[in-house]
Copies of this chain bind each other. A is one copy, B any other.
Amino acid sequence: MSQPRASNSLAEAVKEHMLRDDAFSKLLGLEIDEIGAGYCRLHFTVRPDMLNGFRVLHGGVTFSAADSAFAFACNSHGRQSVGLTVTIDYLEAGELGDVITMEAQEESLKHKISVYQIRATNQHGNLLALFKGTAYRTSNEILSLPNQ
């Protein structure tokens, strides 16, 4: 598995560009801790409005936070990338007040396709979920996209 690399300026610039309009990541209160080529680590805190009907963390929130980490990691090389397919395994339920970290690592980077694994852990280091995402890499340069 590729190792986290130091944050670099391209990945940082892409992240700034993406975050500016990423309303849903803001709604979830995602905080990005580190970004690099093919790498992203972020965290959030489980709020009452993130619970499901059984009063534990809604799987959709876990997925969404992992999906954002996936998006920052796969776009970090500067080419606009879109998620094709994702699998998530739920291992333990998140609970109110938990601080959950998502760490995205690049498994494979080819010309048109890249693959990432994202691990979700809580503040005790327990593994809550495994997320694996496959992205299609378009030929659009993100930093050249027009402002909207």
Answer whether residue A42 sits at the interface, using C-beta atoms and an 8 A cutoff. no
Chain A interface, >50% SS class:
mixed
Q: How many copies of this kind of chain does the complex include? A: 4
Binary CB contact string for chain A from 25 to 52 against chain B (1 if under 8 A, 0 otherwise): 1111000000000000000000011111
Question: How many A residues, CB 8 Å from partner?
Answer: 56
Residues of B contacting A110 in the complex (Cβ-Cβ under 8 angstroms): 91
Answer whether residue A87 sits at the interface, using C-beta atoms and an 8 A cutoff. yes
- A residues in contact (CB < 8 Å) with B: 17-28, 48-55, 58-61, 63-65, 67-68, 71, 80, 82-91, 93, 107-108, 110, 112-113, 115, 117, 127, 130, 132, 134, 136, 145, 148
